[in-house]
Amino acid sequence: MVVGVAAPVVWAGGGAENAIVIIDPTNPASLYVGNYYVQARNIPPQNILYLSPQAASFAAFAGFQKEALLGTAGNRAILEHIDFVVIAPHGAFYVPARDLVSDGCSSVTRFSASSAFTMSFIAEDVLRGASSSTRRNHYFSVTAPQAFDSSIRFRNGTGSRADDAERYFIGALLGYDGERGNTIEETIAMIDRAVAADGTHPDGTFYYMKTTDPLRSGPRENNFSRAIEMILELGGQAEQIDDVLPLGRHDGLGVMTGWASPDIDGGDFTLLPGAMGDHLTSYAATFDTSGQTKLSRWIVKGAAGSYGTVEEPCNYPGKFPHPFFHVWYYAGLTLGEAGLRSLGYVPFQVLSYGDPLTQPFAYLPMVTVPDFPEETVSGTIALTPEATTDRPNGAIAGFDLLVGGVLHGQAGPGESLLLDTTALPDGPNDVRVIAYETGTVRNQGRFLGTLNVSNSGKIIGLSLSPRTGDRSSILLATIDGGGGPVREVRLMHNERVLASGTGFPMLAAFRAEALGAGVSRVYAVADYLDGSSALSSAREVTIDYANPPSTQPDTAPPVAYGYTRRVPRNRPILVELPAFDPDDPNLTYEIIAPPAQAAIEGGGLSRLLKPNPAARGADAFTFRAFGNGTASNVATVTLEYGAYVPCEEIDKYKTRCRNNKVKVVVIFSTYDNETARLAVAVDGVQHTADVVNRKAKLILSNQPLGDHVVELLDPPNCREPAVVTCGG
């Protein structure tokens, strides 16, 4: 059987495709660690956002960072499968949040940097100020492990459609490089250990420490025995020791203790790669006070992650990882999933620290695609994936096909995936086939390939010189190509524009500091006048962290680059202001003429564009850069909005399945929306239908038996996802 969609959407199990990485483009440490993590985890370029995670208040965070995350991911068509928000070090570990959450013991004035993103879907409710610090985390459970999925609303540990069910992300701060945090080298070493640990099933012991401190040991120790029993039942090893640390033990898979200032650095014990350690105390993640041992010491000791609070939380058990953390971790969940599933309350003050994708106890499926083409392809092709798992009595549930980070289809075991390559740019396209297991843990494995496409005969090439350097280096890019006249050529790094032009050859200089230290992949994109587009192969650049750039005597004005930014779902989206100055690395920017149908917020080289509710068609704004006090040219950023229809103009919305045909019908109340295009996702794959005579109709034939999830994407936020059943 050959299908485009063959299984309900199950985005879970914790892989690179499920993570967004947030990097501060103005922070050298953030760029370096972010680049390293992206390379180590093979995060898709579409999953990287460049913005400062810092905010003056949680209200400011909700208006900028949260909107940038949800809107940009939505416009890139990846939001539906993003579960983790991984934050590179950026000089902050909390967001001010005074007078939003009540607590009968101690005032809540801070949210952790990770939890601010975790709460993205409930941010507006939190801002109403009616939450208690004991507000239930609905993903929490002591019943069974359950793979996390941000597209699911949880209630009492399971998916639910109840009004009080809630959605979350799993936020995590990779490291804090300020005082009492971790050095860049320590964070990078942690990333190496975490990645190497995945799927290794290390032999060792989980240690539960019962100390003589009733305030810090007492909240959790009553659940130690049951957690140990469950780990033993799963075939693992766990032990309770009446001490602060497991001294003399060198097989630590995890340590859970309660003590204000344990001597983690000096203790004679060893943590194995992938371990989690925490010590329930008030100031473990309060880096701006010297009191008590910081969770950063667990990372130095060898842990992949830890948990602690960013201010005095009082010792409510629900504010700290439950002893079942290690049970869920050993069952195969990622560190981030096990962490959030073990926190009884919404983690307002709790900092998730380390690599949340770590999964040493996962059974990672082995995936192949025997018919993956080595030759150049065109038209529609079929891919038939195969996968196996080493899990005892395990089985493969299905496969997801991603191209350029975007979901293009799903299939069950033994089925093939159809891919219409005419919807892709010519050139090398990144293809990922993800296999996921049956059961509740949903571990993933993946096939990675490059699909060379040629439907329009377009070919472009990119050369860079030099390919190595330090932070003061200046690189020169040359882009050449053929296949007809071009409208725009862009030099790209992780979905952000570095430079642009309007023809071949295009030459552009840019600073290594713009990429950041570490290994980066730079590529080119060309849009042609005939409506086609093409990609170049990516080129790796390796930049040393040494020799930061400094301002030199002025020899030439800056050059600012305009480009086209598509806003297909009319949600907020990040826009960059690319510019280059050979003498001044510290450019400033000015918006000259704002867009007519949107507002622009923020400062620096990364801004947030917020379209008006009725924005559609074409728009533009202009900007210029200043270096050494000299102004650049005025550059134009052209905006292309998707067809948007206000929710109130929807008169009827129907979806059903009959005779194995999924049918979606939307009828509008006016004729004002003629030629607009409706966007609907069925099982996570987007389809479109034109509006004709007030009606848009989509019919998908030959759908498999069973449930299918139907979501109205454009117009957005108008209807909740619906489930229709074929053959029921």
Residues 265-301 pLDDT 10s: 999 999 999 999 999 999 999 999 999 999 999 999 9
pTM of the model: 0.89
> Under 8 Å CB-to-CB from 160, ≥6 apart: which residues?
138, 153, 154
For residues 635-643, average pLDDT: 91
Q: Is residue 690 over pLDDT 90?
A: no
Structure tokens, 184: 């860049």
Considering the chain, what percentage of its residues have pLDDT values greater than 70? Answer: 96
Amino acid letter, 262: P
Rounded Cα distance, 48 and 448, in Å: 18
The pLDDT score that the predictor gives to residue 2 is: 38
Rounded Cα distance, 503 and 496, in Å: 19
Q: How confident is the model at residue 223 (pLDDT cuts 50, 70, 90)?
A: very high
| Residue 162 half-sphere exposure toward CB, CA atoms < 13 A | 11
Q: How confident is the model at residue 7 (pLDDT cuts 50, 70, 90)?
A: very low
Q: State pLDDT tens for residues 440-488.
A: 999 999 999 999 999 999 999 999 999 999 999 999 999 999 999 999 9
Beta strands in 421-517, from DSSP E residues, in sequence order: 427-437, 444-453, 459-465, 468-470, 474-482, 486-493, 496-501, 506-511
Return the number of other C-beta atoms located less than 10 Å from residue 457's C-beta: 12
Arithmetic mean of pLDDT over the chain: 93
The residue with greater pLDDT, 360 or 693, is 360
Q: What is the DSSP string of 3-64?
A: ES--S-----S--GGGEEEEE-TT-HHHHHHHHHHHHHHT--GGGEEES----SSHHHHHHT
Rounded Cα distance, 270 and 540, in Å: 37
The pLDDT score that the predictor gives to residue 386 is: 98
Question: Which segments of the chain belong to CATH 2.60.40.10?
Answer: 2-7+363-453, 480-641, 647-726
Q: Which of 540, 523, 542 is nearest to 471 (CA)?
A: 542
Beta strands at 518-528 and 573-576: parallel, antiparallel or unpaired = unpaired
Q: Is residue 11 over pLDDT 50?
A: no
Q: Which of 64, 688, 169, 81 is nearest to 402 (CA)?
A: 81
Structure tokens, 93: 């570990």
Return the number of other C-beta atoms located less than 10 Å from residue 282's C-beta: 21
For residues 603-631, average pLDDT: 93
Q: Do residues 694 and 673 lie in contact, with contact meaning Cβ atoms separated by under 8 Å?
A: yes
Determine which of 45-49, 101-105, 622-626 has the lowest per-residue pLDDT on average. Answer: 101-105
Q: State pLDDT tens for residues 295-314.
A: 999 999 999 999 999 999 99
Beta strands at 573-576 and 496-501: parallel, antiparallel or unpaired = unpaired
Q: Is residue 671 over pLDDT 80?
A: no
Q: Is residue 579 over pLDDT 90?
A: yes
- List Cα–Cα distances, 615 to 30, 178, 550, 642, in angstroms: 34, 42, 42, 8
Structural fold of domain 2-7+363-453 = Immunoglobulin-like (2.60.40)
Q: Encode burial over 53-77: b for 16+ CB neighbours within 10 A, e otherwise.
A: bbbeebbebbbbbbbbbbbbbbbbb
For residues 606-614, average pLDDT: 90
Structure tokens, 125: 């409710």
Rounded Cα distance, 483 and 486, in Å: 9
Question: How big is the CA angle at 290 (ends 288 and 295), to the nearest 5 degrees?
Answer: 80
Q: State pLDDT tens for residues 526-568.
A: 999 999 999 999 999 999 999 999 999 989 999 999 999 999 8
Q: State pLDDT tens for residues 35-69.
A: 999 999 999 999 999 999 999 999 999 999 999 99
Amino acid letter, 648: E
Q: Is residue 634 over pLDDT 70?
A: yes
> Under 8 Å CB-to-CB from 39, ≥6 apart: which residues?
518, 519
The pLDDT score that the predictor gives to residue 667 is: 85
For residues 190-219, average pLDDT: 97
Q: Is residue 569 over pLDDT 90?
A: no
Q: Any bridge partners for residue 307, and if so which? A: 352
For residues 681-694, average pLDDT: 79
- List Cα–Cα distances, 229 to 13, 218, 236, 323, 391, in angstroms: 25, 19, 10, 11, 21
Q: Is residue 503 over pLDDT 70?
A: yes
Considering the chain, what percentage of its residues have pLDDT values greater than 90? Answer: 84
Q: Is residue 694 over pLDDT 80?
A: no
Tell me what percent of the chain is helix, strand and coil, each rounded to the nearest 5: 15, 40, 45
Q: For residue 348, with 0-12 CB atoms within 10 Å meaning exposed, 13-18 middle and 19 or more buried, which class applies?
A: buried
Q: What is the DSSP string of 339-375?
A: HHHT-SB--SSEEEEE-TT--TT----EEE-TT--SS
Best CATH choice for the domain 647-726 from the list 2.60.40.10, 3.30.830.10, 3.40.50.1240, 3.40.50.720: 2.60.40.10
Q: Is 37 left (phi over 0), alpha (psi -120 to 50) or beta?
A: alpha
Structure tokens, 637: 């950023």
Q: Do residues 605 and 25 lie in contact, with contact meaning Cβ atoms separated by under 8 Å?
A: yes
Determine which of 208-212, 337-341, 590-594, 699-703 has the lowest per-residue pLDDT on average. Answer: 699-703
Determine which of 95-109, 516-530, 658-672 has the lowest per-residue pLDDT on average. Answer: 658-672
The pLDDT score that the predictor gives to residue 481 is: 96
Which CATH code for domain 480-641?
2.60.40.10
Rounded Cα distance, 450 and 431, in Å: 6
Rounded Cα distance, 345 and 599, in Å: 36
Whether the ω angle into residue 370 lies within 30 degrees of 0, i.e. cis, is no
